[in-house]
Structure 1
């Protein structure tokens, strides 16, 4: 995953207030619950020394934007010096509401959440009609683009005089009807393909998910061949045929997305394990820190589990420097302590490294290894 979207969160010379808040709207009193959750975090931030201007700008952002949609979700908010640096809707509510006021933003929950989503295009298709939906990687209540297409059928063509009565009533006429129908379906899906290409461009989609008539889907595949689009096309249950079919399509599309993301994460981890055996990767926080400080990390792998997360030392002036002691920084007097993930992600962002969540089975804290630091891994830009 490209971490470039996090860069605006580091555009501050002062400390940053980070808020991760459950903003679910699954009950009639959701607004009151959100208000109470925020009030508790505001008091916590104030006790940490957060200025009133920053608290006020955060309060204004709580529950706004896409987070006003109904359902389970959360928010990640970042502000400094009275300025909102970023407001992001989280696909899932955080495991617990959390706030910090540190020299660096606390970005792990946001990076983990973003890595669990993909921008995609969803198509409900039969031989005549189609609906195309485009979704970004950020969770939204509605698609950012929705288009419909109503193509031609034989009755339309017959009305226009392109079929003749003599074509019907014998085997030759039936064959002519069949050939004409297939040509119409191909023409219809060619129109849908152009809509799909537009939707893919709109959200920079990483996958196309399609449900509906199998023959129409085959024609759509032909129109979206490798010369047109290189992203995968996944076929799922549901599609055209009423509200139930479309609801089923959206449900199976979510299942398909989760499977794709899991497969992608597993592929990155397999690549990491292979490189580990050839000195092209390192394991454990202590081994990763010098690689981050030298901007040699290609992909950083961290787990979502923050239980007993240790603190490390970072530099005010050199954002890629991270160490277990201030003595490892360029200026020990200009160092500060912060959660390990916050400093490691800052170094990764500033050195243009990528990020992937560690598989759940690999997430642990070993008190006897690495000085008690959270398990982590990294692939390198060149062998160590």
Structure 2
């Protein structure tokens, strides 16, 4: 996955406040619950040293995702009295948390975007006589997105209402419209739900390349939930699956490993490649444990396993930070991608590896 959406986080130096908060609205008094959770986090941030002005900026944004119904979360990042990122989380955080530190705690936000699978969802409803295919209407709604983030940040929808008598003919033209949308979104899959007869007509008239991506799903298909189309079914289709783009990168890594091509594996080799801006994609079996630390300087490529290493490169005043925070900053700062790959797909030495842009040695800038 590409991490360009995190660039605002690193436009200014820290310190940063990072907040992860359950803002679900599936309870009787959600605003009261959210306010109580925030009050606990605000007290914690005050003890950590965050000033009142920064806390007030955050408080204005807490719970501002009122348009998102159901179970979800919110993440907020602020620095120097300014809110720098306000995002929705597809799922509530495991625990509400707030940190005040020199680097933003971005990895939990990143992991809620994984596996970032582009898709198109299509719902087709037939409203007519149960024994006739010439009366009533067929309604179609289609929406492209990237799972799982799009469950709470759904995109523009295509809506069509067609007389049943013309559905066979109209479905052909709609199929080409859907194909155009799916191509623009680079959709890995087309998830189709709704009434069986109307869905069958549409699927048979889709262009061949799009038809091969169709996944039919059953179950309720409401279109007015305020969430992504087919949200419950999307979870069943995509959970445990990798995006096609990420799988291609994993296959490239496997090939380079076999042929001693430009790749790195293990923490030391990967950090050395990040120092030189060599990494085009970082592969992780899982996010690093919070106890794992790296030494960093003021620039994204200034990171190392030890203070002495950074000092030897002339980096002034290195400091020790959480490895996940240092790695995300390095990836964003160098334009590298992140691929979280299950161990069952590829076991990495120390859980980390990298595809390299080039194989030359160098030193960190």
TM-score under structure 2 length normalisation: 0.78
Relative to structure 2, which stretch is displaced further, 23-32 or 260-269?
Answer: 260-269
> Which structure shows the higher helix fraction?
1
Partner of 2:264: 282
Alignment of 1:381 with 2:363, yes or no, is no
User: What is aligned with 2:109?
Assistant: 110
1:136 equivalent among 145, 150, 156:
145
For 1:43, the equivalent position in structure 2 comes to 43
Distance 1:296 1:241 in 2: 46
Shift of 1:79: 0.7
**Aligned residue among 312, 315, 330 for 1:347:** 330
Deviations 1:126-149 (A, max 9, x none): 687242232533345584333432
Asked whether the 8 Å contact 2:25–2:71 carries over to 1, the reply is yes
Q: In the TM superposition, what is the alpha-carbon distance from 1:48 to its structure 2 partner?
A: 2.3
Q: Which residue of 2 aligns with 1:221?
A: 206
Aligned-residue offset at 1:355:
0.4
Aligned residue for 1:236? 216
Q: Deviations over 1:117-166 (max 9, x none)?
A: 43432112368724223253334558433343233444xxxxxxxxxxxx
Question: What RMSD, in angstroms, separates the aligned Cα atoms of the two structures?
Answer: 3.6
Q: Is the 8 A contact 2:191 2:214 kept in 1?
A: yes
Matched-pair contact (CA < 8 Å) for 2:175–2:202? no
- Stretches (4+) displaced over 6 A: 201-204, 239-243, 362-365
Compute the displacement of 1:326 (Å): 2.8
CA contact (8 A) 2:17 2:100 kept: yes
Q: Residue 43 of structure 1: SS of its match in structure 2?
A: helix
String of CA shifts for 1:236-293, please: whole Å, max 9, x gaps: 12389999xxx99553333223354377656544543443333332222212111001
1:323 aligns with 2:304: yes
Provide the C-alpha distance between the structure 1 equivalents of 2:164 and 2:258, rounded to a whole number of angstroms.
59
| CA 1:40–1:277: 2 relative to 1, 3 Å | farther
1:1-384 correspondence runs (5 A): 1-65=1-65, 69-125=68-124, 129-137=138-146, 138-141=149-152, 143-154=154-165, 184-193=166-175, 195-196=177-178, 200=182, 205-211=187-193, 212-213=196-197, 215-222=200-207, 225-226=208-209, 233-238=213-218, 250-258=231-239, 260-261=241-242, 268-279=249-260, 280-305=262-287, 307-316=289-298, 318-329=299-310, 330-359=313-342, 375-383=351-359
Q: Identify if the C-alpha distance between structure 1 residues 84 and 263 changes in structure 2 by more than 3 Å, giving closer, same or farther.
A: same
Separation in structure 1 between the aligned mates of residue 163 and residue 17 of structure 2, nearest angstrom: 57
How many corresponding residue pairs? 338
Distance 1:265 1:144, change over 3 A: closer
- 2:36 and 2:347 map into 1 onto residues whose CA distance is 33
* Per-residue deviation, 1:92: 1.7
Larger radius of gyration: 1
Distance 1:260 1:192, change over 3 A: farther
Q: Residues 39 and 362 from structure 1, CA distance in 2 versus in 1: closer, same or farther, beyond 3 angstroms?
A: farther
Report SS of the residue matched to 2:63.
Answer: coil
Q: Quote the offset at 1:76 in angstroms.
A: 1.8
- Distance of aligned partners of 1:260 and 1:307 in 2 relative to their CA distance in 1, 3 Å threshold: closer
Displacement, 1:108? 0.7
Structure 1 residues 152 and 131: alpha-carbon distance in aligned structure 2, compared to 1, 3 A threshold: closer
Mark the CA change 1:62 to 1:206 in structure 2 (over 3 Å): closer, same or farther. farther
Q: Structure 2 stretches of 5 or more lacking a match?
A: 127-132, 361-365
Task: Give TM-score scaled by structure 1 length.
Answer: 0.75
